[in-house]
């Protein structure tokens, strides 16, 4: 497959010392409104001058990622396989993708030299970040690595070879990084213990809501007879068990004990009709909506009575929920609406929510405990108001993307100044 250049017709020139430097973003997925990682990178880099940045990404993800949220800069599609197939073909395709990493590094090297790139930014996800580190080593361009999820652990579980090869490559790439961002304190601890590297905390960020404008929002005037609970985001292994329990509670009328006779769960997600049918979610209290843009999401969140933020209790997901952090947390906090966190006590999310006191926290996988948590929010208007005010304060302190963009620009200037 050829390497495809999607150009915007703006040649990259040398940046004056007081302007953002020329940046190459390398990752298997491009920034877009697709999932947690792509959304966070789209937000972080959306303010970067489009004539100062180039995106080098995988053809597989570029095909499926929506244009909504993409950066208005040049995109280079590097050929990648689908990564899966029957009768062992998936393993062959994955092997081919790994073997193409040196070629990716050479392509990145060419882009760095022809576009006068001063720094590289990559995500420790899948395999492209290894190519980014190689390109940085060849050219001397400093590389900034972002660690959102522990994607190395599930990869190394596939075989003994991958366990040793992938971990060794990851350790080399991380130790060569000029700077590392970690999405949670638990991720910082993992990076230190597993790879011996220091990192800077950069929690999920988003834009301030124009309606709140950084000020405390009043609690919703909740009527016990009609309650709207909302979840926004992808439904995967990290949230599936919590959502299923919430649905069971609503369908079986478990909230009637708290005076809630007509609750509704609004899901803003990508959910196939067959999955809805298989899970038995064809019910009047469950409203499945289409995936919405980041701008639309602000208005959607403001209409809910409770924002539901689950994190998996499954032991098989423990490696992820201990150190990763759900990106939708920033959106929920920025809305200034009451939040209910439902997850195990060892998860990064539960620890953070309890420390910052912005949510009702339920840390036991129990229907009665979850119902009581919902009832607590609905029955106490003063408590709801406190949660709303605290959410906005925590957002402004730790999750405002405007501040994160400024800090990134300053960082890039520092690491490229000799």
Q: CA-CA distance, 339 to 120, in Å (whole number)?
A: 37
Q: In which order are the strands placed within the sheet that holds 53-58?
A: 4-6, 74-78, 53-58, 23-27, 119-123, 143-147, 179-182, 200-201
pLDDT tens figures, 108-167: 999 999 999 999 999 998 889 999 999 999 999 999 999 998 766 655 555 555 666 778
pLDDT tens figures, 322-365: 999 999 999 999 999 999 999 999 999 999 999 999 999 999 99
What does each C-alpha distance from 174 to 106, 144, 179 come to in angstroms? 19, 9, 9
* 406: its two tokens: 């400024």
By C-alpha distance, which of 274, 246, 285 is closest to 369? 246
pLDDT tens figures, 255-264: 888 778 788 9
Query: What structural domains and CATH numbers belong to the chain?
Result: 4-205+401-415 (3.40.50.2000), 226-398 (3.40.50.2000)
State the pTM of this model: 0.85
Confidence of residue 1 (pLDDT cuts 50, 70, 90): low
Q: Which residues pair with 362 in a beta bridge?
A: 342
What does each C-alpha distance from 381 to 117, 214, 258, 384, 388 come to in angstroms? 54, 21, 14, 5, 11
Q: CA-CA distance, 379 to 222, in Å (whole number)?
A: 9
* 355: its two tokens: 């420390």
Strands 53-58, 306-310: parallel, antiparallel or unpaired by DSSP?
Answer: unpaired
Cβ count within 10 A of residue 160: 8
Q: CA-CA distance, 229 to 265, in Å (whole number)?
A: 5
- Calculate ∠ Cα 223-224-225, nearest 5°: 95
Confidence of residue 89 (pLDDT cuts 50, 70, 90): low
């Amino acid at each position: 497959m050829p390497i495809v250049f999607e150009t915007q017709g703006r040649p990259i020139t040398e940046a004056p010392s007081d302007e953002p430097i020329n940046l190459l973003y390398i990752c298997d997925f491009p920034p877009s409104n697709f999932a947690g990682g792509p959304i966070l990178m789209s937000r972080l880099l959306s303010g970067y001058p489009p004539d100062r940045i180039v995106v080098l990404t995988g053809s597989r993800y570029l095909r499926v990622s929506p244009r909504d949220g993409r950066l208005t800069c040049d995109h280079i599609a590097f050929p990648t396989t689908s990564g899966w197939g029957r009768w062992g073909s998936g393993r062959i395709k994955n092997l081919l993708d790994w073997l193409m990493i040196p070629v990716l590094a050479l392509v990145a090297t060419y882009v760095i030299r022809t576009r006068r790139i001063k720094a590289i930014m990559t995500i420790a996800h899948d395999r492209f970040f290894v190519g980014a580190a190689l390109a940085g080593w060849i050219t001397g361009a400093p590389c900034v690595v972002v660690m959102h999820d522990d994607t190395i652990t599930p990869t190394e579980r596939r075989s003994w070879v991958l366990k040793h090869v992938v971990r060794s490559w990851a350790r080399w790439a991380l130790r060569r990084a000029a700077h590392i961002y970690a999405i949670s304190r638990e991720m910082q601890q993992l990076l230190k213990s597993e790879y011996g590297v220091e990192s800077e905390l950069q929690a999920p960020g988003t834009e301030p809501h124009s309606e709140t404008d950084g000020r405390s929002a009043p609690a919703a005037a909740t009527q016990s007879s009609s309650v709207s609970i909302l979840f926004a985001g992808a439904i995967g292994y990290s949230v599936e068990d919590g959502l299923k329990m919430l649905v069971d509670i609503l369908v079986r009328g478990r909230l009637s004990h708290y005076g809630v006779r007509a609750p509704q769960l609004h899901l803003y997600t990508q959910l196939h009709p067959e999955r809805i049918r298989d899970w038995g979610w064809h019910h009047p209290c469950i409203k499945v909506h289409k995936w919405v843009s980041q701008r639309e999401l602000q208005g959607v969140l403001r209409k809910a009575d409770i924002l539901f933020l689950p994190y998996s209790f499954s032991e098989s997901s423990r490696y992820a929920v201990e150190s990763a952090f759900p990106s939708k947390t920033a959106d929920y906090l920025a809305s200034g609406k009451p939040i209910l966190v439902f997850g195990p006590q060892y998860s990064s999310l539960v620890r953070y929510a309890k420390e910052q006191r912005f949510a009702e926290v339920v840390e036991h996988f129990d229907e009665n405990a979850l119902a009581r948590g919902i009832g607590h929010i609905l029955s106490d208007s003063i408590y709801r108001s406190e949660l709303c005010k605290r959410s906005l304060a925590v957002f402004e302190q730790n999750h405002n993307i405007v501040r994160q963009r400024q800090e990134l620009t300053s960082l890039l200037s520092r690491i490229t100044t000799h």
